[in-house]
Structure formats: C-alpha cells, structure tokens
Chain A
Amino acid sequence: MAWLLCLGHALLGALLLPCALLGPGLRRRAVETAAAAGTLLGAGLVIAGASGASGWRTVAFEPGSAVPAGFAVAAAWVLVAALSAEGGRVGHAALVGVAGSGLVLAATGRYVVPALIFWLCSTAALAALAALTGDRAARAWPLLVVSDAAVCAAAVVHVVRADTWSSGDPAGDPVLWTLAGAAVVRGGAHLAAPWPVLGTRAAAAAPLLAGGAVVLAERAARAEPWLALAVLAFAGAAAIAGLRSSGVSPRLLATWPVALAVAVCFVSPGHAPVAGAAAVLSASAAALWPFTAARGRFERALLVAAVPLTAGFAMVAGGATAAFERATESATPSLPWALVAAALPAAFAGGVVLGGRATRAAFDELVPEAVLATWLLLAGSVFVGLAPSVLGGADAGLGASGGVLALNAVALAAGVAVALVVRRGIVVLEPAPAPAPAELEPPRGWPAAAGWAAIVIAVATAGAAAWLTVAGLRVGFL
C-alpha cells in the first residue's frame, strides 16, 4: 500500500492518457475520477507521514517531508478537478500525476541519487505543464532550472563532504545555503518569472511548487536565524511592492505564504508539517483566484492572512514561540533570534493586510468548481488549524489542545453565525465595498540570453546528476 502512496499519482497520469481519445464529457469524468483518487492518495500520504508509518524501499514517511508533499499533491489534484470543466485536460492531469509522484518520491527519499532524479523528473513535468499553455514567450522553465541546479549542487556537495549517499542533515553551510536558495527561487518563481500557470488551466502546478519549496527548506533541517530573516526580508519587499500598487496579484498571494513557510522552517524545522500545509493550501487558493470572480474572496483572505482558525496561524505561532525561546534561552539574549522574533509578528501583520486587500479585487471568469475548491481548501486549513498536532512535528504552542480546540470551535461557530446574521440583513453593520475589476498581468518573455543561459545550466545539471548516479552505482549505494 505504501508504494501506491508514492507511485499512484504517476499511475493515474498514465491511466489517463488513453482517455484523450474519449469525448469531452467522458474525458472530464475520467479526469475528475483520477483527481478524486489522487486527492485521496495525497491525504493518505499526509496521514502516513503524520503517524510515522513504515516506508517503502528507499522512502521513509516522516512528518516533515511526507506531510508537505502529501498536501501538495492532494491540492494539485483538487485544482485539476476544479479546472477540468472544459472537457477535461488529460495532458495537464497526466503531467500533474508525474510531477506529483516525482515530488513525493524526492521528498521522502532516503538516498540522495534517487531523490535527485525524481526531483528533476518532477521539474520536467512542471515545465512541460507550463509549456502546454501554449504561450511560447512565457515559459518559466529557466527559473526552475536555476532552482534545480542549486538542488543538484547541494546534493553533490553533501555527498562529497559527508561521504555518504543517504539523505540526512546537510553537510555544512554551503549545502544549507544552496538548499535555501533553491527553496526561495522555487517558492518565489511566481513573482520573478513570467509564470504562465496562474490564470491558466495549468494552475495545478502552484501547490506542487509551494510544497517543493517547503520540502527543500525542511531538508536543510537547521534553524538559521539569518536565513529566516533573509527570506522574511524578501517576502516583505515583495509585499510592500504589491501594496504600493492599487491591488495585489495572484502572483504575490501565491508567493507570500510560501515565503513565510520557508522562513518558519528556518526558525524551527519541526514546524515543517504545518508550514507545508499552510503554504500549499494558501498558494492553491491564490491559484484559483482568477477563476472565482467575486466569490470566495474572504475565504481566500483567511488563508493568505494566516489568522487563527487556519493552518497558517499554527505555523506563525509555532515559529514566533520558537524564535522567542531561542532568543531568551541563554543569559544574554541572542540578537539574530530576537530580530526573528520581532520580524515574524511584522510579517504576520503584513499578511493580514494582504489578505484584506485581496478581498477588494475580482476577476471576470467564474468557474463554480473553483469556488467549491476554495471552500475545500479553507476547510482543510481550518481542520489543521483547529488541531495542528494531528500533523505531527513540533507543537504549535497555542496551549492545551483540548481547550484550544474548544475555543476555536466556539469562535468559528460564532463567527459563522454573525456572518450569516449580517449577510441576511438582520443586523446592519458597516458595508464592505464591492470588489473592483482585476486583471492578470500579461506574461512576459525572457531575453534570449537568459534562455540560452538556462539551457547551459540545465545541461550542466543533468550532467552533474548523471555523474552522481554513475558514481553511486559504482560503489553500490543502493
């Protein structure tokens, strides 16, 4: 059964390929059925990771790696189902399956070489998914190439310095910083790259990118305050740039929670499970934004703002508490940890503003399934937020679980009741303004030099991976 949790997504993708010959209605049903199965497999992986179930062959189900990967693939399949309204896109779904299995096997892999190969396969599938959108000028694969080159470099240095073929704690600062860079580039690809998937039917790549970034940060497996501050500074700069304009974009909303999650992983690696859940669910909701018109705005705001009742708050609270404890554990407070403890609340407040600002814009297109998917994502986040300990990993530090659950449940019920009372006009309070029309930024192309540089980097990365594989096979690492 464990093998199904890993390979099942690719299997679903393969089974879907013949369905391309079917009519639109049957094709859509096939895609939706596969998506439902894939979502269940992702949920199964989350459960396996949270419970520390026994692995399979070279994979191990640990909370820090399996939970973010499980959420990523489950959310990706949810987006596939939500955006399959127009006859079902078999190619997209098949590539999501391949990318999903690649991510799962890479995240849970116990050995460097297989994990690296599966990671590169996942990236290739994501790049192909972006290419299927058909806009030749908007291919964002160069950024993924840079991220994967960093991952490959980290793998080579780890193997050489630690003289081991198993994935473990990274051997030294170069590996740590390289993985951090890869995580930031992968998670922030939406901002810098003319990433075409947001606003297209290939938006299912967003949760896979988000989950992959958190997995990379968790692999670093070390609390580094300066890294956390650097990531928070990057996220803060992006947020300020977005807030200075009249509105925020799906690109910013898809990047912000990922950056926050990566920063928390560098504060407390033990919070990777809840950080992965928060990042994936928020990024997925942001990816669905262009398809929800004026609906689901506040649901999306709750996810992005990482407020109580959501997984994001468990992540922020855990990170802030961990940073404070590290800052005060010695007689002389630690300056970098004190800075992190101060920066996290500021970042948290920034997320609240972003979430509120996101309620003020709406796109034209309405796909009812996308609205349903947004509600489903929020429900998942609330489930985790009510009981964050179910994911394993470090305690969120919100207090005794029973009392917290009861308080949150009462607050949730009261909030919903008040919302319904006000929406029905029984009680009249301040009205919220109607959303303004929003438009997606047109995708930009890369300069020719950047494309050629990316090709060179991709070839070098493939060569390094091949060298590492051959070297490993020679010593019989498996």
Chain B
Amino acid sequence: MSSPATHPSRGGWAAGARAAGALIALGYLLGLVRGPIVAAVGGLALITLGRCALASPPDDVVLGASLAVLAGALGVSGLRWEALDLGDLRGAQAVLGPTVLVGPAAAAGACWAAAAAAVAALACWLATSQPPADGSTRLVRSLWVAEGAVAGLAIAAVFWGPSIPRGALLGGEGIVALLEWAAAAGVVTAAALGGAVLLGRRSRVWRWAALGAAAAAVPVAAVVLVGAVS
C-alpha cells in the first residue's frame, strides 16, 4: 500500500514530461521535422526534468550535469561539420561517411573522444535514473531502457549517422543504411546501459569521476578538432 509521501499518481506530470520529451527528440532525430541538434537535446532535457522531479538531491544534480556533458559532446559533431542542423549532419555523413571515420586522423580521434564522452555521460544519466531492482515493474524498467535508447539514437545520429544515398531511402541501400544506423544506436545504448549497471553498483563518487572525465574530454576534443580542421 503506498504511503501519502509517495503516492503513485504524483509522478503523473513527470511521466508526461518524459513522454513529450521523447517524442520531440525522436521527431527531430528521425527527420520527421528538420531542425538543429539543439532541439533534440531539448527533448532529452524534458526527459531529464521528469527524472529530476523523481530524484532526490544530489542525484538531480548528476542528471543535470550528465545532460550538460552529453549536450556538449553532441555539439562537437556540429563543430566538425560546422553545422547544427541535423539534416546537414546527416547529409555530410551520407557523402563522406560517419563523423568518427572522416579524416584527418586527429579530427576523427577527437570525434571518437567526444562520442565516448557522450556515452559516459549517458551511462551516468542512466545509472542515476535506474529503477531499483526490487519493486519496479517491467514497464518501469522498459521505459528506462527506452529513454536511454532515445539518447543513444542521438549519439549515433551525429557520430555514426545513416549514409543513405539520395533517393534510395526505400531501396536496398537505404534499408541497409538504416539498419546500420539502428545497429550503431543499439551498440551505443547497450554500452551506456552496461556502464550504467556497473556505475549503479558502486558509490556515487564513481559517477562523478566518470562525469568529470567526460566533461574534461569534451573541450579537449573540441580544441583538437578545431586545430585539425583549420
């Protein structure tokens, strides 16, 4: 029986925010609406707000810091292509290949570092919002994974985006490219979930350490990237 202090209905607006945020992020990431990566990050922020409303201090700070690092890491991909528009990012990757594979080597390395930082930040985010093993339903755990998958899709979209040839979306090449993108998103999400499970078993200090390392990697990657392409 639920206590007055934690009535199930009290999480209604938090759940609504998470649903709305996921829809917004997916709308931009899947190309239903053309817009900047900033808009997709906004969807992730709405999900984070819903999670912050459920979290107790200082877990909410970890969630916010994870979001900030993730946003910064995604921005490095925009710096690589000098564009924030997701359509431009997809277009560049369609012509030249995934962001993390396009030379020069220093630029590609910087993008790998940024992608790793994004995955680490996502792992911290998931570790903090992880539902307890006891007492949480399958639906709750599934939604947790789904939210991680949305963020994983964002990371994959900007660092290993689909290389769909023009006019070939419904053709064999387009389907293969989409499957490749989905696989990349799956790998990212699985890595983040694995990291989250590991971090969840340890003290909060480990999450801060991982976040700190990721936060340090993002500006270093940006500086290296700028030096490599200019």
Contact = CB atoms under 8 A, between A and B. Distances in A.
Contact of B24 (A302, A338, A407, A419): A407
21 contacts: A298-B53, A309-B20, A316-B38, A320-B38, A328-B79, A328-B82, A331-B230, A349-B71, A352-B63, A356-B63, A397-B35, A399-B39, A403-B34, A414-B23, A415-B23, A418-B12, A418-B20, A422-B16, A429-B143, A433-B10, A434-B7
Nearest to A331: B230
Contacts of B53: 298, 301, 356, 359-360, 432
A342 B20 contact: no
Given A345-B68, A411-B23, A412-B20, A298 B13 contact: yes
A308 B55 contact: no
Nearest to A400: B34
Contacts of B54: 430-433
A407 B19 contact: no
B49 A397 contact: no
Contacts of B222: 338, 342
Interface string A322-363: 001000100111000010011001101110110111011000
A463 to B, nearest CB: 47
Given A317-B42, A333-B226, A414-B19, 6 more contacts: A403-B35, A404-B35, A407-B23, A407-B32, A415-B17, A422-B8
B72 A403 contact: no
Interface stretch (B132-140, B153-161, B180-188, B196-204): B132-140
A162 interface: no
A346 B68 contact: yes
A408 B19 contact: no
Contacts of A410: 23, 27
Given A399-B39, A430-B131, A308 B11 contact: no
B72 A422 contact: no
Q: What 4 A-B pairs come out closest when comparing CB atoms?
A: A356-B52, A399-B35, A419-B16, A415-B20
Given A301-B53, A346-B72, A428 B8 contact: yes
Interface in B53-98: 53-58, 60-61, 63-65, 67-68, 71-72, 75, 78-79, 82, 84
B194 to A, nearest CB: 22
Contact of B36 (A331, A399, A421): A399
B42 A307 contact: yes
Of the listed residues A298, A333, A397, A418, the one surrounded by the most CB atoms of chain B closer than 10 A to its CB is A418
A154 B28 CA distance: 44
B41 interface: yes
A150 B68 CA distance: 35
Contacts of B27: 407, 410-411
Contact of B64 (A321, A349, A417): A349
A423 B12 contact: yes
Interface in B1-53: 2, 4-21, 23-24, 27-28, 32-36, 38-39, 41-43, 45-46, 48-49, 51-53
B219 interface: yes
B64 A353 contact: yes
A427 B19 CA distance: 13
Nearest to A330: B230
A403 B34 CA distance: 8
A313 interface: yes
B15 A321 contact: no
A416 interface: yes
Nearest to B15: A422
Given A305-B45, A342-B72, A432-B10, A397 B38 contact: yes
Contacts of B55: 356
Contact of A434 (B5, B45, B63): B5
A42 B36 CA distance: 33
A403 B152 CA distance: 24
B10 A434 contact: yes
A408 B139 CA distance: 25
Contacts of A355: 49, 52
Contacts of B32: 403, 407
A379 interface: no
B10 A429 contact: no
B96 to A, nearest CB: 18
Contacts of B2: 431
A338 B225 CA distance: 13
B145 to A, nearest CB: 14
A360 B82 CA distance: 40
Contacts of A411: 19-21, 23-24, 27, 43
B49 A305 contact: yes
B8 to A, nearest CB: 5
B11 A352 contact: no
A419 B63 contact: no
User: Which residue, A357, A411, A414, A434, has most C-beta atoms of chain B within 10 A?
Assistant: A411
A243 interface: yes
B169 to A, nearest CB: 18
Contacts of A474: none
Contacts of B143: 429
